[in-house]
Amino acid sequence: MSLTPVQVLDAARAAIPLLPSTSELRASSWEPGDPLPDAGAPAAVATLSSESSLQVLLAASQLIAEALEGAEGMTPAQALMPALEAAAATLGTGVLEDTSEADATQLLGSGDWITATLEADGAVEGWLAVRENKGAPADADAEPAQEAPAAPAGPITQATATPEQRAESMKLLYDVEMTLTAEIGRTKLAVHDVLDLSPGSVIELDRSAGSAADVMVNGRLIARGEIVVVDEEYGIRITEIVSLADQQNQ
């Protein structure tokens, strides 16, 4: 089955929770005229060998790169690995191999990539691109390499995306700050209603009083809870952790 833009968009959405950003990230399909990564942008590329062989590329802007600097002992490109693995996992079951740091500008200009952008506040902050690796067909009988270092220094060498290895990769990001948002509701207003807003206006939201608030990380729902007051400041008491299956159905 041929790769589709919808699959790449889903892969980009899967990467978002593992990318630190001070603003909410949203995935969109890349269109001609949209920006591409600058030269030197942190990026990682890997080959997913399953029913077909796919190359998966994840690149980040300077905003995300600065946030990733909190992951000590590794480069920003290495810190992208958990997000790259999460994206690849949506594209099929197989072996994630030949993972390395990449020149995203050069790669995206040299092949038929299907690309999704990761946007925050109207600016493109990341790119997830996938292409069929026609020159290197997948070998279903190939044995994955045994080496999977927990904290690589230099080119990334992680041959298989097992749960244990993904957990080790996540440990490298423990000190990276991520933006968490509590949302109590939404509504839609016509332009003239927005222009008519003034002090004292009341806006009705889409959920009743006492309903659970949504807890979001980079725009992705991860939990629900109730609003509380802690030392005269608002807080949220978690009442439900949203499963991965429920996240994908949002």
Residue 201 clears pLDDT 90, i.e. is over it: yes
CB half-sphere exposure, 50, CA atoms < 13 A = 18
160 and 186 inside one domain:
no
**141 and 203 share a domain?**
no
Residues 191 and 219 in one domain: yes
Residue 142 above 80 pLDDT? Answer: no
Same domain (yes/no): 136, 14: yes
Of 142, 171, 200, the one marking the end of a domain is 171
SS3 state of residue 114: strand
Query: Is pLDDT at 156 greater than 60 in this prediction?
Result: no
- CATH number of the domain residue 188 falls in: 2.30.330.10
Domain check: are 221 and 166 in the same one? no
Quote the pTM value.
Answer: 0.58
What's the domain range around 38?
5-171
Q: Give the CATH number of the domain where residue 96 resides.
A: 3.40.1550
Q: Helices 81-89 and 163-171, interaxial angle, to 10°?
A: 150
In whole angstroms, give the CA distance from residue 19 to residue 5.
21
Q: Could you give the CA distance from residue 131 to residue 79 in angstroms, rounded to a whole number? A: 22
On whether both 55 and 160 belong to a single domain, the answer is: yes
- Tell me the sheet residues that pair with 153: none
Look at residues 115, 149, 171 and tell me which one is the last residue of a structural domain.
Answer: 171
Looking at the structure of the chain, the number of domains it has is 2
pLDDT bucket at 140, cuts 50 / 70 / 90: very low
Say yes or no: 150 and 194 in one domain.
Answer: no
Question: What would the pLDDT profile of 68-88 be if each residue is shown by its tens digit?
Answer: 665 566 676 677 888 888 888
Structure tokens, 29: 């399909």
Least confident of 43-57, 87-101, 160-174, 190-204: 160-174
Given 120, 140, 171, the domain boundary residue is 171
Both 157 and 186 in one domain: the answer is no
Residues 184 and 165 in one domain: no
* HSE, side-chain direction, 13 A CA sphere, residue 92: 21
Q: What is the DSSP letter of 182?
A: E
Residue 191 and residue 80 share a domain: no
208 and 144 part of one domain: no
Residues 116 and 34 in one domain: yes
Residue 76, pLDDT score: 67
